[in-house]
């Protein structure tokens, strides 16, 4: 087994959680999932609020993750880095490089918050699942952070230009995305060149925002709205709240 000289590799990825096996996180492949600590946004429907803060010490040592993955080489196809927001961590590039060297395909799930760090790791990534939460001009309504749509636009453009396989997705709640706003967002993404788009129905599980939970509408968005959005994309899918998957 390889001996990882972590002192020579500098700063280590701050890991807040680890799932050893997932059949749904990386499309079509069996993967392990690494949850990276930290996210600067406070979206009301976030289901991983425990990962938003970055503690002084990593709850799970990176060397232990590497050892575990080495033992699972041949049993897994891929490793997915998510969060939190993985591109918040300065050690992401090094961590992905180490895992890729083991022979795993690399998946990355991102909210597109840090475009420069995202651009630096895209050449190492085989698949990206990225969130676009609302129209770029209205981002602060969801994230609570002014001007948070600008880095998302830049990140989306970088992903599309890179040629990496991807899935673009939006979580939909009627209080945050009215039918008109959702249609506007879909048209904007299609104009940018997005071809694979998924709408995810809001899930109350894990949501700490009681207002969002109370205002959820089963079956939103409705079929008439979906019929207008679907033709904009080569691949289009809707994940309902009771449906298994990401």
Closest by Cα among 56, 196, 38, 34 to 117: 38
Task: Note the pLDDT tens digit of each residue in 27-58.
Answer: 999 999 999 999 988 877 777 777 777 777 78
The CATH number of residue 153's host domain is 3.20.20.70
Q: What percent of the chain has pLDDT over 70?
A: 93
* Residue 155, domain member (yes or no): yes
**Mean pLDDT across 221-236:** 97
* Residue 96, domain member (yes or no): yes
Task: Note the pLDDT tens digit of each residue in 53-92.
Answer: 777 778 899 999 999 999 999 899 999 999 989 999 999 9
* Residue 244, domain member (yes or no): no
- 166 is in which domain, residue-wise? 1-239
Q: Which residue has the higher pLDDT, 178 or 204?
A: 178
Q: Tell me how crowded residue 205 is: count the other CB atoms within 10 A of its CB.
A: 7
* Residue 245, domain member (yes or no): no
What is the overall mean pLDDT for the chain? 90
Task: Note the pLDDT tens digit of each residue in 231-242.
Answer: 999 999 999 876
Task: Note the pLDDT tens digit of each residue in 147-189.
Answer: 999 999 999 999 999 999 999 999 999 989 999 999 999 999 9
Q: What is the pLDDT of residue 53?
A: 74
Q: What is the pLDDT of residue 44?
A: 72
Q: How confident is the model at residue 7 (pLDDT cuts 50, 70, 90)?
A: very low
* Residue 201, domain member (yes or no): yes
* Residue 57, domain member (yes or no): yes
* Residue 246, domain member (yes or no): no
Q: What percent of the chain has pLDDT over 90?
A: 74
Q: What is the pLDDT of residue 103?
A: 96
Q: What is the pLDDT of residue 45?
A: 75
Q: Count structural domains, the chain.
A: 1
Integer Cα distance of 4 and 135 in angstroms: 44
Q: What is the pLDDT of residue 9?
A: 52
């Amino acid at each position: 087994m390889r001996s990882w000289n972590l002192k020579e590799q500098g700063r280590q990825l701050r890991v807040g959680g680890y799932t050893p096996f997932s059949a749904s996180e990386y499309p079509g492949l069996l993967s392990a999932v690494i949850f990276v600590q930290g996210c600067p946004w406070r979206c009301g429907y976030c289901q991983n609020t425990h990962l938003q803060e970055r503690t002084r010490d990593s709850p799970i040592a990176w060397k232990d993750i590497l050892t575990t993955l080495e033992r699972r080489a041949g049993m897994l196809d891929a490793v997915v880095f998510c969060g939190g927001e993985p591109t918040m961590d300065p050690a992401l590039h090094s961590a992905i490089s180490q895992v890729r060297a083991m022979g795993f395909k690399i998946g990355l799930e991102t909210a597109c918050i840090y475009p420069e760090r995202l651009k630096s790791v895209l050449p190492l990534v085989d698949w990206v699942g990225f969130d676009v939460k609302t129209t770029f001009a209205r981002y602060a309504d969801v994230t609570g952070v002014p001007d948070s749509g600008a880095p998302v636009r830049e990140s989306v453009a970088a992903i599309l230009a890179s040629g990496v396989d991807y899935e673009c997705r939006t979580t939909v709640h009627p209080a945050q995305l009215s039918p008109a706003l959702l249609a506007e967002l879909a048209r904007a993404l299609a104009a940018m060149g997005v071809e694979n788009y998924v709408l995810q129905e809001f899930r109350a599980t894990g949501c700490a925002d009681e207002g969002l939970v109370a205002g959820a509408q089963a079956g939103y968005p409705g079929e008439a709205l979906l019929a207008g959005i679907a033709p904009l994309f080569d691949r289009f899918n809707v994940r309902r709240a009771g449906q298994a998957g990401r």
